[in-house]
Amino acid sequence: MTYLHNIGTYFMMIGQMFHKPTKWSVMRRLVFKDIEDLIIGSLGIVSFISFFVGGVVTIQTALNIDNPLIPKSLIGFATRQSIILEFAPTFISIIMAGKVGSYITSSIGTMRVTEQIDALEVMGINAVNYLVFPKFVALMLYPFVISIAMFLGIVGGLAAVIFGDFGTVDDFITGVQLDFIPFHIFYAFLKTIVFAFVLATIPSFYGFYMKGGALEVGKASTTSFVWTSVVIILLNYILTQLLLST
């Protein structure tokens, strides 16, 4: 019953997020702050991981192609498919669940512990809208982060081909362009938008409704990471089944 109660409370929180909005002059400042903290602050780690994981995918693909009849362009093709379809939208979102999700939960949870949320509600402010909605708006720019991850992942693969001598640049680029399906980009960004909504709301839920003291803030951050990751993986399966199996 606890799970059903939490699910119901979560959807009620989403409804409250759009009611009684905070005036725009205040909301604008909150949105820009969250863009800096959640989006711009994540570009470094996302860029670093994307570049080197793209290189690893390329190396593993190249080392498993030992048949001379298989063209070297397959390395670029496999790298592109792996990065665009799964690595960039899904794997990066799991990482962001740890970085961004934990930050959201701990920041809102600290406000709950220090009774700042109670103070907002006493002043007649919709605390859910004030705290959660700016993060929702900021994370709508999350596809921009994923596009950088896609680009740097493929660049990392190209670098691995050059420095590992696994083929030529022309072969890799030919593979990247081989049988390109534009719908795969739409599929990746649709998943990204759905994951962005999950990243904004589930960590906020665990921070907003946490109970206890400072110790529980850490526990809430861990719990939010686990459930955010689980929901992302489940939604990834559902969206893949719906969009790519037809």
pLDDT at 41 > cutoff 70 = yes
- What is the average per-residue pLDDT within 172-183? 88
Are 239 and 194 in contact, with CB atoms under 8 Å apart? yes
Residue 174 scores a pLDDT above 60: yes
pLDDT > 70? residue 196? yes
Report pLDDT digits (tens) over 134-156.
999 999 999 999 999 999 999 99
- Residue 233's pLDDT band, with cuts at 50, 70 and 90, is very high
Q: What per-residue confidence (pLDDT) applies to 149? A: 94
Q: How many CB atoms are located within 10 Å of the residue 124 CB?
A: 7
Nearest to 172 by CA among 60, 56, 58, 53: 58
Structure tokens at 17: 């997020």
Give the chain's mean pLDDT: 89
Which amino acid belongs to residue 19? H
SS (H, E, C) 34-79: HHHHHHHHHHHHHHHHHHHHHHHHHHHHHHCCCCCCCCCHHHHHHH
Instruction: State the Cα–Cα distance between residues 128 and 135, nearest whole angstrom.
Output: 11
Q: Which residue has the higher pLDDT, 52 or 125?
A: 52
